[in-house]
Amino acid sequence: MTDNATVQTPQATAFDSLPDSARRVSLLLRERGHAGQIVMLPETGKTSAEAAAGLGCSIAQIAKSILFRRREDDAPVLIVASGANRVDEKKVAAQVGDIARADAKFVREKTGYAIGGVCPIGHATQPVTLIDADLFTLDSLWAAAGHPHAVFNLTPQELAALTGAPVVDVALRETA
């Protein structure tokens, strides 16, 4: 199902007034051919619900970045999932190997971002990345831009192009 609700796009924040991590994301986006317009939310966007409320969009349109660590080599594994979905760790493990949850220190070390602001690109250590196929049912997404208050708008196709990641089913589906 496609979410075609008209969302009034919040105003981009001037580059000079962005936090350092969001400025870095803005430059990365521009280098990769994206407009790089960063929006600063007045309230935190640490959770999908908070970000959606601040943007006036559906929770599904939040492209949340969740970091795991691969057990065999401690490599970071980034899942960019719809805010409406829980990640099925068994599906992820079937794609990349056995995984474990990452703590805040691991997230900061491997991505360079704090939890709640992890951008899909520009990590300190290049992660193994998977994109939730459910994001491709939507026309417009919002992703973190390096800071818990910073986000940027993009399409699912732009997300795939920016990350170079495969699109797979990672959503936890409840069975009746």
Q: Which residue has the higher pLDDT, 36 or 111?
A: 111
Alpha helix (H) ranges present in the chain?
20-31, 48-55, 89-96, 104-111, 156-163
Strand-pair partners of 142: 62, 153
Residue entry with tokens 């699912």: 156
The pLDDT tens digits of the residues spanning 75-131 come to 999 999 999 999 999 999 999 999 999 999 999 999 999 999 999 999 999 999 999
Amino acid at 30: R
Q: Work out the pLDDT band at 14, boundaries 50, 70, 90.
A: confident
Structure-token pair, residue 168: 């797979």
Q: Where are the domains of the chain?
A: 15-168
Strand-pair partners of 128: 77
Task: Identify the pLDDT of residue 175.
Answer: 67
The answer to whether 76 and 123 have CB atoms below 8 angstroms apart is yes
Rounded to 10 degrees, what is the CA torsion of 14, 117, 142, 100? Answer: 160
Structure-token pair, residue 164: 């170079």
% the chain with pLDDT above 90 = 82
How many CB atoms are closer than 10 A to CB 134?
18
- Decide: pTM greater than 0.85: yes
Domain spanning 15-168: which superfamily? YbaK/aminoacyl-tRNA synthetase-associated domain (3.90.960.10)
Task: Kindly report the backbone phi and psi dihedral angles of residue 8, in degrees, each rounded to the nearest multiple of 5, phi listed first.
Answer: -80, 115
Q: What is the mean pLDDT of residues 146-161?
A: 96
**Which 8-state DSSP code applies to residue 34?**
S
